[in-house]
Amino acid sequence: MGFPGTWMTESESMVYRVVPKCACSTIGQIMYYSDHGRFFDGDIHDAKDGMHKWAFADSQARISGNIRKHASYSFTCVRNPYTRILSSFFDKICGIQRNGSRYRGNLVPTLIYNYGIEVGGDDGKGEFDQIASFRRFLLFARDTIRWRRPMDPDIHWSAVSGHVSTFIVNGGRYDRIFWTEKFNDGMQGVLDNLDTPHAVSLSDIPRFNESEGHGPKRAHPVEDYFDDLSMHLVYEIYKQDFELFRYDFENPANKMPIGEIDLDEVHAKLGD
C-alpha cells in the first residue's frame, strides 16, 4: 500500500501525512516555502513539482526509503470531528469547486434525490435550512463509512484516525501530531526540530484556506447543527478520533482539545 497522502520536502527536511480539512493547504505551503523561499503560486494540492508527493510515481521510492529509515522529522495535524464534518459539508457538498463544478459530479444531485438535502441553489449562495440539510448529509456520511453505500467514504469526511493510521501500519512513526485548533504552537513545535534551506517565521505566514468561499457561510453556531441524534451519529463515525486526539464529544461548542495526545497510544492503537 505504501504511504498514500504523504508529502515530503525536496530537501527531505520533513515528512507530512496529509489529513484533508486539517490545515493541509497552509502546511503544504510552509513546506514549499521552507525549500524554495517562496510560496507556490496557486493551490498547493495542484503543485506538480517542488515537493515530493506519494501521488507522483517518481517520488514514491524516495518517500518510502525515508520513512522506513525514519530519516526525517514526521508529523501530521488533526481537527475536531464536529467542525471538520461541518466544514466538509459547506465546502464539498454546498460549494462550487475551483474548477467551477460541483464536487464529484453527480454526488450532490444524488444527495438531493436520495437524502432530501438542499445546497443553496445552483451557485451555493441561496438561503436554505442549513441545519436540516446538514443532519441529512450526516446520515449519508455515516452510510458511506459504515456500509460503503451508496459510495465509498470520501477522504474529506472519513475519520482522521484512518488517514493517520496508514502511515503507521506501513512502517512510519510520527514525531509529532498537533491540533488545527492550536496550529501556531503545533507547527512551531515541528519547525523547532528542523534545519530547512529557508527559515520560516510563522507570524509572517498567511493562512491558505483554499476551501474558503466555495460555499455558503455557516449561519449558526457549531452546536446548533448537532442534536442528540446527530451527536450519536458523529460518535459512531468518529469515536476513535475523539478518544485518541482528545476532543470533547459531550460539548460540540468546545472545539478545543481537552487533553494531551499520547503518541505511544496512537501508534499502538492505529498500528494493528
3 state SS of 7:
strand
Per residue in 202-217, pLDDT tens?
A: 988 888 875 556 678 8
Distance from C-alpha of 73 to C-alpha of 82, rounded to nearest angstrom:
29
Cell of 86: 461541518
Beta carbons within 10 angstroms of residue 250's beta carbon: 9
Per residue in 161-170, pLDDT tens?
A: 999 999 999 9
Q: How many residues does the chain have?
A: 272
How confident is residue 97, by pLDDT bands cut at 50, 70 and 90?
A: confident
Per residue in 39-93, pLDDT tens?
A: 999 999 999 999 999 999 999 999 999 999 999 999 999 999 999 999 999 999 9
Quick one: which H or E segment has residue 132?
helix 130-147
Side-chain half-sphere of 32: how many Cα atoms within 13 Å?
23
Per residue in 167-202, pLDDT tens?
A: 999 999 999 999 999 999 999 999 999 999 999 999
The arithmetic mean of pLDDT across residues 148-152, rounded, is 89
Cell of 89: 459539508
How confident is residue 143, by pLDDT bands cut at 50, 70 and 90?
A: very high
Residue 133, pLDDT score: 96
